Amino acid sequence: MDGTLANLALFLIATFAAALVAALSGFAFGLVAAAIWLQTMTPVQAATLIIAYGLLVQGYAVWKLRRALQWDCVWPFLLGGAIGVPIGVTLLNFVSPAHLKMAVGLFLCAYSIYGLARPIVRPVAGGGAPLDAMIGALNGLVAGATGLAGIVVAVWCNVRGWSKDTQRAVFQPVGVATFIMCAIGAGLQGAVTRDTTLLFVIGLPALLAGTWIGFKLYGRVDETGFRKIVLIVLLLAGVGLVV
């Protein structure tokens, strides 16, 4: 990235905004950050910083929600994700990434518009650990193919009609696990450079400020408001993938 004052200011603003959205909704840090970062830095730098910052934001969120964690609900998604991520990465060798992103984007747009148009939605009953593991595998596949960690699980939690704390206590640990898998891959490929490390340090204050404000806002949102926030973020994610 060109280290001009304007570019650094843009980087800090994007970092703050992405952290705020991620802390408020529980996901989509990479979606918000990449939309601006890719204007001034390489895709490798952006991906590496998304993984590093994503781990911090998601990890802090898991710690904040630790009392709501139910590992009996989480482990099937984690197991499925461990299977799905390498499949998603491998799939990129045979299918156009643009087509995959278009398909996922159209689904997210359709689902979120439908959800926003229907203020009252009857929760869907779950199918137990096997179905949750399948959802986790699909989530891992999408994450490996598009870089969006936790999107499918967030949709599933929303469909189930769980409380906002229960939803985040499920899809955030899944997001952390996915980011860890991606971080290991980035480290093995030598993506962590001196310039990227310097940017990481520079952006930390903005990241921490956005995360703190995001969680303050989250505490003031009721169940209906949180559902709408998730649907809006999913809609923006879908539009971003399609465009």
Give me the domain span that covers residue 68: 5-242
Instruction: Give the HSE-up count for residue 127: Cα atoms under 13 Å, Cβ half-sphere.
Output: 9
**Tens digits of pLDDT across the chain (243 residues):** 666 888 888 899 989 988 998 888 877 787 788 778 877 777 777 777 887 888 888 888 888 877 777 777 888 888 888 888 888 777 767 777 677 778 878 888 888 887 788 766 676 776 788 888 998 898 888 777 766 777 788 888 878 877 888 888 887 888 788 777 766 765 555 556 788 888 899 999 999 999 999 988 888 888 788 878 888 888 887 887 777
Report helix, strand or coil for 70.
coil
Q: Is the entire prediction scored with pTM above 0.85? A: no
- Give me 161's structure tokens: 């009609």
Q: What contacts 220, CB < 8 A, 6 or more positions away? A: none
How many independent structural domains does the chain possess? 1
Query: Is 61 within 8 Å of 26 (Cβ atoms)?
Result: yes
